[in-house]
């Protein structure tokens, strides 16, 4: 019999694709500083915190800023980003995501969100999925970024389950590593070349089922 009692979901890249908005906002910031920023570089920011993303981008552009200037730049980027996500609608939920989270709940499993984003709550409200999670652990509630397991361990704790009873759904390798570090099973959403350490890799939650969950 399966020991799985809970599913923990990353947000960006698993439930919604906000990477495109992050990219537009970061590109605007980089261009304003006089350099460009490619979509390939944006890939490397998946699951990475806002502060660390800015450090990486400034490094790519060869630009040095003081801590105070960095704080202003991160706030500027976030203002742009929040404006964009304020227009999000339920039709931006990735295929199968809402259905699978609901199927987990219908099967008696607990569900939690485990995201690096400090804007998680706003996104969940815009897409109408707040009520589908028993716990929401986001960037405001953690001090250590993935691959540290803090975000998922806090999720398990909030749900009252053990780490080994959890399955994490993640699109970023840092997130899969966080799940492994936390002693949890993981399902990677994306390419097996990148997410090969996960117990199962699929293209999206539309390919997931309770049967596949049971078989992990």
Give the binding site for ligand B16 (CB under 6 A).
10-13, 22, 45-50, 53, 78, 115-119, 139, 172
> What is the SS3 assignment for 23?
helix
Query: What CA–CA distance (Å, rounded) separates 134 from 111?
Result: 6
Q: What is the DSSP string of 78-103?
A: HHHHHHHHTT--GGGBPTTHHHHHHH
CB-nearer residue toward ligand B16: 110 or 146? 146
The partner in contact with residue 186, picked from Mg ion, ligand B16, none with C-beta cut-offs of 5 to 8 angstroms by kind, is none
Catalytic residue among 10, 17, 91, 148: 10
**CB-wise, 57 or 151, nearer to Mg ion?**
151
Residue 141 Cβ vs ligand B16, minimum distance, rounded to whole Å: 12
- How far is it, in rounded angstroms, from Cα 65 to Cα 131? 41
138 is catalytic: no
Query: What secondary structure does DSSP assign to 101-131, as a single string?
Result: HHHHHHTT-EEEEE-S-TTHHHHHHHHT-GG
- Tell me whether residue 92 or residue 210 sits nearer to ligand B16 (CB atom): 92
Contacts of 6 (CB under 8 A, 6+ apart): 109, 110, 111, 112, 155, 156, 159, 161, 165, 166, 167
CB of 159 to ligand B16, least distance (A): 18
What does 42 interact with, of ligand B16, Mg ion, none (CB < 5 to 8 A by kind)? none
36 is catalytic: no
At its nearest, how many Å lie between Mg ion and the CB of residue 15? 9
117 interface partner picked from ligand B16, Mg ion, none, CB below 5 to 8 A per type: ligand B16
The site for Mg ion (CB under 5 A) is made up of: 10, 12-13, 47, 171-172
Q: What is the maximum alpha-carbon separation in the chain?
A: 58
State both tokens at 45: 């920011």
Closest separation in Å from C-beta 151 to ligand B16 = 8
Which residues are catalytically annotated?
A: 10, 12
């Amino acid at each position: 019999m399966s020991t799985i009692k809970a599913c923990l979901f990353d947000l960006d890249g698993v439930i919604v694709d906000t990477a495109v908005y992050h990219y537009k906002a970061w590109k605007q910031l980089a261009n304003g500083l006089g350099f460009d920023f490619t979509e390939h570089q944006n890939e490397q920011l998946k699951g990475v915190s806002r502060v660390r993303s800015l450090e990486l981008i400034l490094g790519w552009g060869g630009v040095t800023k003081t801590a105070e200037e960095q704080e202003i730049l991160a706030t500027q980027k976030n203002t742009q980003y929040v404006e964009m996500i304020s227009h999000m609608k339920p039709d931006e939920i990735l295929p199968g995501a809402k259905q699978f989270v609901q199927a987990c709940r219908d099967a008696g499993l607990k569900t939690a969100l485990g995201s690096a984003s400090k804007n998680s709550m706003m996104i969940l409200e815009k897409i109408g999925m707040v009520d589908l999670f028993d716990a929401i652990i986001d960037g405001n509630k953690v001090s250590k970024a993935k691959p540290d397991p803090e975000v998922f361990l806090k999720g398990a704790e909030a749900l009252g389950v053990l780490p080994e009873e959890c399955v994490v759904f993640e699109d970023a390798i840092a997130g899969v590593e966080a799940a492994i570090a936390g002693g949890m099973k993981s399902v990677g959403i994306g390419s097996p070349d990148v997410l090969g350490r996960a117990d199962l890799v699929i293209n999206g939650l539309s390919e997931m089922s309770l049967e596949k969950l049971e078989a992990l």
